[in-house]
């Protein structure tokens, strides 16, 4: 495994380069999008040429962040282009960036910034620490170094807002176990730099569509308990999206319902993505390492939050997961 680069090494490469492409993982969340917008914004302020690419559409709840509509979500605009540096953010492995970017080779150097324990250091420069709350913490350190080198007084307000949104989203509003004093200190500095805490919170946690609420109602009706109520799971079918008019992104956060139930050690959400193909999201209180569990199925993430995709009928997938998790409790 390659060793971690330093913030100064990444800054040296950025300062000495002119063109960049910044990309994130499939089904991008707040950490990915906020980190991408923040780094892209900093690069633009430095006079660099920078493009942002996402393999999937940007969730509606994140479209309050300035510049989200500049993110490229179609492959064609990148065909034939070449960049000095590609920066991949929040990708536990190279393939998490989607088929197009996985095969894309129009760059000279690759910077890999991430916080997933499953990351195998696939970049030329890698900055990975699974102990931090989010990729945004790493991007914050890099931005601070670039701010200092460009003799700015503080992080620009829009960049600070992007990073605060990324931090808030990946820590559940500073509620998750990954939140540390360092996380809180970073948040304080971002607010001092001009990030609006209440504005970010309102848009991330208190602005939902009717369609999402109706989807939540349907999914909650499937809540099931196993193993003396230590396991809890829910199921979301494609038909639930069709009936409610909700989007797949509207399922984000639904896992928090079974996760929050007293006595539940592991919670998971089974999402149908195609016939006999299901995407599963897991949350653990710590007794079970769900990153290790998901690795059995080619997935990964963190010890207390991870995901994977399993093929088979719903009954087959459910039975397999419940029986194997039960052995770990």
Inter-residue contact 25 to 56 (CB < 8 Å): no
CB 81: neighbour CB atoms within 10 A? 12
Q: Given this model, what pLDDT does residue 225 score?
A: 97
Domain boundaries, the chain: 7-205, 210-326
Provide the token pair at 32. 């990915």
Average pLDDT over residues 283-293: 92
Angle between helices 30-45 and 135-149 (to 10 degrees): 10
CATH architecture of 210-326: Roll (3.10)
The alpha carbon of residue 284 and the mean position of all alpha carbons in its chain are separated, in whole angstroms, by 17
Residue 277 pLDDT class (50, 70, 90 cuts) = very high
- Say whether pLDDT at 1 is over 60: no
More confident residue, 26 or 266: 266
pLDDT tens for each residue of 201-257: 999 888 888 999 999 999 999 999 999 999 999 999 999 999 999 988 888 889 989
More confident residue, 252 or 125: 125
Nearest Cα residue to 160 out of 203, 116, 200, 128: 200
Q: What is the mean pLDDT of the chain?
A: 92
Nearest Cα residue to 165 out of 127, 210, 135: 135
- The CATH class given to the 7-205 domain equals alpha beta
Record the pTM. Answer: 0.82
């Amino acid at each position: 495994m390659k060793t971690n680069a330093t913030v100064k090494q990444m800054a040296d490469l950025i300062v000495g380069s002119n063109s960049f492409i910044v990309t994130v993982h499939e089904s991008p969340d707040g950490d990915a999008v906020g980190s991408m917008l923040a780094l892209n914004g900093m690069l633009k302020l430095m006079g660099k040429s920078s493009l942002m690419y996402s393999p999937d559409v940007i969730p509606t709840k994140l479209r309050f962040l300035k510049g989200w509509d500049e993110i490229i979500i179609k492959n064609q605009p990148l065909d034939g282009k070449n960049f000095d540096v590609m920066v991949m953010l929040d990708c536990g492995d190279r393939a998490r960036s989607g088929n197009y970017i996985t095969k894309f080779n129009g760059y000279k150097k690759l910077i890999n910034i991430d916080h997933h324990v499953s990351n195998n250091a696939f970049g030329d420069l890698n900055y990975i620490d699974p102990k931090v709350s989010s990729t945004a913490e790493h991007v914050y350190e890099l931005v601070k170094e670039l701010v200092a080198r460009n003799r700015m007084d503080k992080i620009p307000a829009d960049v600070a807002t992007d990073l605060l949104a990324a931090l808030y989203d990946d820590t559940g509003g500073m509620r998750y176990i990954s939140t540390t004093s360092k996380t809180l200190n970073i948040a304080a500095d971002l607010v001092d730099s001009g990030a609006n805490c209440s504005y970010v919170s309102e848009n991330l946690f208190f602005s939902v569509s009717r369609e999402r609420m109706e989807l939540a109602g349907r999914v909650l009706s499937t809540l099931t308990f196993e193993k003396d109520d230590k396991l809890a799971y829910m199921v979301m079918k494609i038909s639930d999206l069709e009936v409610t008019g909700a989007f797949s992104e509207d399922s984000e956060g639904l896992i928090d319902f079974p996760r929050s139930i007293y006595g539940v050690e592991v919670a998971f959400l089974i999402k149908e993505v195609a016939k006999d193909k299901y995407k599963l999201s897991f949350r653990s209180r710590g007794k079970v390492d769900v990153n290790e569990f998901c690795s059995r199925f080619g997935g990964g993430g963190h010890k207390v939050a991870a995901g994977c995709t399993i093929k088979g009928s719903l009954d087959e997938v459910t039975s397999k997961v419940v029986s194997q998790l039960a052995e770990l409790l």
